[in-house]
Amino acid sequence: MSDQAFVTLATNDSYAKGAMVLGQSLRKHNTTKKLVALIGPHVAEPCRDALGSIFDEVCVVDVVDSGDVAHLALMKRPDLGVTFTKLHCWTLTHYSKCVFMDADTLVLSNIDELFEREELSAAPDPGWPDCFNSGVFVFRPSNETHEKLLAFCGEKGSFDGGDQGVLNSFFNTWATADISKHLPFIYNLSSVSIYSYLPAFKEYGRNAKVVHFLGKVKPWNYSYDAQKGEVRGHALTPDQGQLHPDYLLLWWQLYSKSVMPVLQQAYGETPFNSG
């Protein structure tokens, strides 16, 4: 349906790479929905071009330009920069329903069925499971909701300093009101959970639909030996074992096969760092 879209966000070139892999993973699994990338003003021109050839729509979001309410709220809470940018997804009112996905997520199968859910549907956060994780959520664009969110955010702030805190305080009946708004955890499988309860991952993990590389270390912080088909150096980082090697490899295979060529075309003769 053309009035439904997957939406992601990248405020810099690193997260933009994540967004490209996410976009290609959605395409690979034949989504029938539109793909939208929100980007910050600092994303480089060739990156924007590459995003443009994967996504249906690339919107530059500059929160300081985004109207009085946002501006006022932002003045009060300069710490919540990226959070404000993420909330901007509610202004995509030319869509009737959207699914937001963090740029550090990777789709493993078609997930268009998520559009059957209502706002605000999300999967539990493994850290505090009465909170939802804001890396994947179903929402209904609305300028009214957007303004309420910004006002809320400006007044109350965020208990965790990010969008997840704000969204959980705003949609504060998620844990108790409606089970259909609980997305199964396999739609937002954090790589950290794999190791915290390995038997459950072995029992249920094979059905995973979305992997979320939550935490400090992201797939693009590694590098890849395309010749050998191996991720380099993941035994060298301090957080070793945090990212599941199979999913990490999957991310890099998709990057190498479906994103690199697009980036190379976009950068043309300009040399660029393949990661």
User: Interface residues with Mn ion (CB under 5 A)?
Assistant: 102, 104, 135
Q: Using an 8 Å Cβ cutoff, are 132 and 170 in contact?
A: no
Q: Is 199 in the site for a copy of itself (CB under 8 A)?
A: yes
Q: How far is the CB of 15 from ligand UDP (least distance, A)?
A: 4
Residues 69-98 contacting ligand UDP, CB under 6 A: 82, 86
User: Which range of residues in 3-11, 50-58, 179-187, 254-262 is near ligand UDP by CB under 6 A?
Assistant: 3-11
Map residues 202-221 to x or -, x wherever contact with a copy of itself holds by CB under 8 A.
Answer: xxx-----------------
Distance CA 212, CA 193 (A): 10
Q: Is 12 in the site for ligand UDP (CB under 6 A)?
A: yes
> What's the length of the chain?
275
Binding partner of 156, given a copy of itself, ligand UDP, Mn ion, none, CB within 5-8 angstroms per partner class: none
| Closest among 217, 133, 215 to 171, alpha carbons compared | 133
Q: Is 247 in the site for a copy of itself (CB under 8 A)?
A: no
Distance CA 213, CA 252 (A): 13
Residues 127-166 contacting a copy of itself, CB under 8 A: 127-131, 159-161, 165
Q: How far is the CB of 147 from a copy of itself (least distance, A)?
A: 24
Structure tokens at 33: 């929905």
Q: How far is the CB of 106 from Mn ion (least distance, A)?
A: 11
Q: How far is the CB of 134 from ligand UDP (least distance, A)?
A: 8
User: Which range of residues in 60-68, 102-110, 120-128, 258-266 is near a copy of itself by CB under 8 A?
Assistant: 120-128
Q: How many Cβ atoms from other residues are within 10 Å of residue 145's Cβ? A: 18
Residues 108-137 contacting ligand UDP, CB under 6 A: 135
Binding partner of 147, given a copy of itself, ligand UDP, Mn ion, none, CB within 5-8 angstroms per partner class: none
Q: Is 232 in the site for a copy of itself (CB under 8 A)?
A: no
Rg over alpha carbons for the chain, rounded to the nearest Å, is 18
Q: Using an 8 Å Cβ cutoff, are 211 and 252 in contact?
A: no
Q: Is 1 in the site for a copy of itself (CB under 8 A)?
A: no
Q: How far is the CB of 209 from ligand UDP (least distance, A)?
A: 17
Q: How far is the CB of 4 from a copy of itself (least distance, A)?
A: 23
